[in-house]
């Protein structure tokens, strides 16, 4: 797996650097990422291409350490031929929010590597298995998680571009709805997983130090 090779390499690079630059406690971070993921679909013995948008809002509770919240908006589509259907179609929309943590390591004058973890993101998901909108929609209770490394490069004062490669998993519990009414019992729970590539930007608002009064 790519992430298993990338993570040790980033640790090695970080170990060679002098960590003299810090992001101070009290700094506010705001921004977002666009994500691309190719994931396996074990329920249908196929695969899906997903696009996601994850805004980020957090605060540095210690030097280089961020705690924050991240909403999740995700859309995916799967078409083509799989084992259970010669003309399979699926569209998927997911919305949720959860906490995240990050830790930054200085690797250059304007560059950091970071380690990102969003361990529990509760969400809701709506799936269509037909282009005919009169057909029932499957609704899922979802728990999403992401973990992995990234690189952040300052391109202007307080503004950084970043790219991350995360391992992403999503636990599903299925319910079938039609016109807002639940049909039958909950389906079998299952998990989708795969790598997600994120590209985005962050803005850092450093809290100004209070000016000391001038003694005359």
pLDDT tens digits for range 24-57:
899 999 999 999 987 665 655 667 788 999 999 9
β-bridge partners, 125: 94, 140
| 3 pLDDT above the threshold of 50 | no
Given a contact cutoff of 8 angstroms between Cβ atoms, the answer to whether 6 and 13 are in contact is: no
- Which of the listed ranges 4-13, 73-82, 146-155 does the model predict with the highest average pLDDT? 146-155
Given a contact cutoff of 8 angstroms between Cβ atoms, the answer to whether 89 and 129 are in contact is: yes
Q: Which domains does the chain possess?
A: 2-17+34-178+186-205 (2.40.160.20)
pLDDT band at 23 (very low <50, low <70, confident <90, very high): confident
Q: What is the pTM assigned to this prediction?
A: 0.74
pLDDT tens digits for range 106-146:
998 889 999 999 999 999 998 888 777 777 788 888 999 99
123-146: b (≥16 Cβ within 10 Å) or e: bebebbbeeeeeeebbbbebbbbb
């Amino acid at each position: 797996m790519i992430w298993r090779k990338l993570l040790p390499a980033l640790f090695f690079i970080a170990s060679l650097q002098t960590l003299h630059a810090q992001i101070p406690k009290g700094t506010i971070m705001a921004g977002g990422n666009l994500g691309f993921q190719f994931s396996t679909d074990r329920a249908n013995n196929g695969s899906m291409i997903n696009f996601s948008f994850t805004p980020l809002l957090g605060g540095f509770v210690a030097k280089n350490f961020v705690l924050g919240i991240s909403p999740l908006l995700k859309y995916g589509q799967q078409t083509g031929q799989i084992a259970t259907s010669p003309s399979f179609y699926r569209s998927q929309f997911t919305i949720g929010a959860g906490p995240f943590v990050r830790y930054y390591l200085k690797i250059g004058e304007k560059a950091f590597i970071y380690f990102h973890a969003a361990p529990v993101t509760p969400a809701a998901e709506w799936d269509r298995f037909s282009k005919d909108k009169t057909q029932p929609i499957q609704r899922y209770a979802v728990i999403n998680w992401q973990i992995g490394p990234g690189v952040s490069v300052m391109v202007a004062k307080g503004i950084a571009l970043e790219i991350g490669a995360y391992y992403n998993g999503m636990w599903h519990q299925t319910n079938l709805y039609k016109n807002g009414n639940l049909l039958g019992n909950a389906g079998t729970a299952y998990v989708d997983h795969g790598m997600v590539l994120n590209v985005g930007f962050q803005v850092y608002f450093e809290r100004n130090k209070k000016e000391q009064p001038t003694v005359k």
